[in-house]
A and B are shown apart, each in its own frame.
Chain A
Amino acid sequence: MGGSVNVKRVIGRVVSFIIKIGILFAVIYPFVWLVLSSLKFEQDIVQYPPKLWPNQFTFTQYIRVWSKLPMFTMFKNTLLFSASVTVSNCLLCAMGGYAFARIEFRGRKLLFVLILMTMMIPFQIIMIPLYILEHMIGILDTFWGLILPRLTWPFAIYLMRSFFISLPKNLEEAGRIDGASEYRIFWQIMLPLCKAAMITVGIMTFTNNWNDLVYPLLLTNSVTMRTLSAGLAMFVGQRIIEYGATLAASMISLIPLLAAFLFMQKYFVKGIALSGMKI
């Protein structure tokens, strides 16, 4: 009797192990394939039957891609756009979240509900009016046009608020008794405490904007303003003609985030895990 329970348990363990490794294989395979294919010559990529391992390793695709696509411009645009939006989000959302969490003011509840509701508005709804608005202001197809609408992010305000609420109540009291202004309390006492929350928000913002497609696709149309996502999507649009260059370009667009993920997975996962919690 006891023996059969043990056998059952061992079988269960083995089955669950196989399932886990199977999923791991399915998740990792396309990445392995991408890395290896981007190191092949064009004729090896299109050979039949396809082979995973290159006949001969080469960096040609990574060299060719710079002349095939405006890679440098696209990379610079994406970096500039994502980085500025990230810095601004960290600061503005910390300010907003702090105000909602720690200061009593008239209309606070109503305003916060309003902010929460904006999180539900899909981009596709405001896409056309935003285009018209930017055209009227004259910032369409410029960095300002990309950056200004993304200076703040309701979801990050919400995350920051949850963070500030969780801090002990009497933190700012000491500052108030010492006669420090509200701004000084925020800047010198509260802001240094929310470094971890800011990294979480920063990583989410950076990832979202780095990967975003519709938004830059809509608000830019000259080749010199394209981001990596938008530029690549345009490039493959009709049909993939140059496999090697396309794959190398995809790889280049993935490397910064994958590298960041390798060193800071904790922060990547934290924001997502928090989003499902009722705080």
Chain B
Amino acid sequence: MFKNIRSYFQRTETAAWVLLFPSLLCLTIFLFIPLIMSFGLAFFDVTIFLKQFKFVGLDNFIELLQDDRFWNALGNTVYFTIMVVPCGILFSLAVALFVQGNSLFQRFLRVSYYVPVICSMTAMGIVWAVLMDPTIGMFAFWIRQLGFENVQLLKDPNLAMPLIAAMTIWKTFGQNMIILVAGLQAIPDEYYDASMIDGANKWKQFFHITLPSLIPTLGFCVTTSTISSFMVFDQTYVMTRGGPLFRTETLAQYVYTRGFVISPFRLGYASSVAFVLFIVIAAISIAMYYFFTKKETEGL
């Protein structure tokens, strides 16, 4: 009997399951079960004290449709994404083209541009919030020097979100830059050599060789950036707490606020907001996957 168990564990296939077991166990308990729970929770009325779970069917979603604060948060999140993703990717691509070489100077620049990426959004948010403080901030001072007297920056409802978007690009462009540089370096030199012989100039090379070869990498960057923009939380939480006038409250922050900050801590309702966020993100991921695989096969 003992020998049988032993030889069972010695089998190659069993070994695979043994090696995977800890990871699978952890993912099942802390990822799959919560995921399944999250779909159900949106149909219940339950507060943070978990006293009673009351099934309410679609009530949460019906309430959601009439919830101005939800629509505001959705709008803010879309607004943030529309600013951060195109501008951020274009900027990262431009910078990547500038620093793609392997000279010491370019490598130094790459490493330096990457520094904000490894730093916590919390600390960087604090730094930027003080730099943009209307009374004591250095940036506010510079802008005043330029002749703009009434500088409110983060306290200005119309400027707060664009400024947070700009800060986000500053903090994260290094990440896409590194990925794009890796993509650029993977393009074989022969492509460029051949086009040189054909007499193509730099612009032609960029649009006919660089860009088409870079589509899978760009697709990856656009997709991951869009997903993380839709989940934006840290920046707005640290820098404005969703203000002024809720103009920087995002969906992720609304989920957190509804569930854990403002009484009566409605977890069921917050789950329905999270559910919508999930649907939006899933739809975007799938759409982008098909868009970029199509582009990849048929070219630009």
Interface range on chain A (Cβ under 8 Å from partner): 35 or more
A150 to chain B, nearest CB (A): 8
The complex places the Cα of A211 from the Cα of B230 at a distance, in Å, of 19
B26 touching A148 by the CB < 8 A rule?
A: yes
Q: Is B35 positioned at the interface, with any CB of A under 8 Å from its CB?
A: yes
B120 touching A106 by the CB < 8 A rule?
A: no
Q: Is A143 positioned at the interface, with any CB of B under 8 Å from its CB?
A: no
Q: Number of residues in B with C-beta < 8 Å to the partner? A: 94
Please judge, given known A-B contacts A27-B112, A122-B278, A261-B118, whether A273 and B267 are in contact too, CB under 8 Å. Answer: no
Main secondary structure of the interface of A (DSSP, over half): helix
Q: Which residues of B contact A258 (CB under 8 A)?
A: 115, 118-119
Q: Is B200 positioned at the interface, with any CB of A under 8 Å from its CB?
A: no
Q: Is B207 positioned at the interface, with any CB of A under 8 Å from its CB?
A: no
Q: Which residues of B contact A238 (CB under 8 A)?
A: 241
Q: Is B160 positioned at the interface, with any CB of A under 8 Å from its CB?
A: no
The complex places the Cα of A106 from the Cα of B126 at a distance, in Å, of 51
Q: Which residues of A contact B179 (CB under 8 A)?
A: 272-273, 275-276
Q: Which residues of A contact B125 (CB under 8 A)?
A: 233
Q: Is A213 positioned at the interface, with any CB of B under 8 Å from its CB?
A: yes
Please judge, given known A-B contacts A103-B12, A133-B37, A148-B26, whether A125 and B274 are in contact too, CB under 8 Å. Answer: yes
Q: Which 7 pairs between the two chains have the least Cβ-Cβ distance?
A: A182-B15, A276-B179, A129-B37, A129-B34, A149-B30, A211-B120, A126-B34
A sample of 10 more A-B contacts (CB under 8 A), given A111-B20, A130-B30, A211-B118, is A27-B112, A105-B12, A105-B17, A128-B255, A131-B259, A132-B267, A232-B126, A246-B126, A268-B114, A275-B179
Q: Which residues in A have some Cβ–Cβ distance to B below 8 Å?
A: 16, 19-20, 23-24, 26-28, 30-31, 33-34, 37, 45-50, 52, 92-93, 95-96, 98-100, 103-106, 108, 111, 115, 118, 120-133, 135, 148-149, 151-152, 154, 157, 181-183, 186, 207, 210-211, 213-214, 217-218, 228-229, 232-233, 236-238, 240, 243, 246-247, 250-251, 253-254, 257-258, 261, 265, 268-269, 272-278
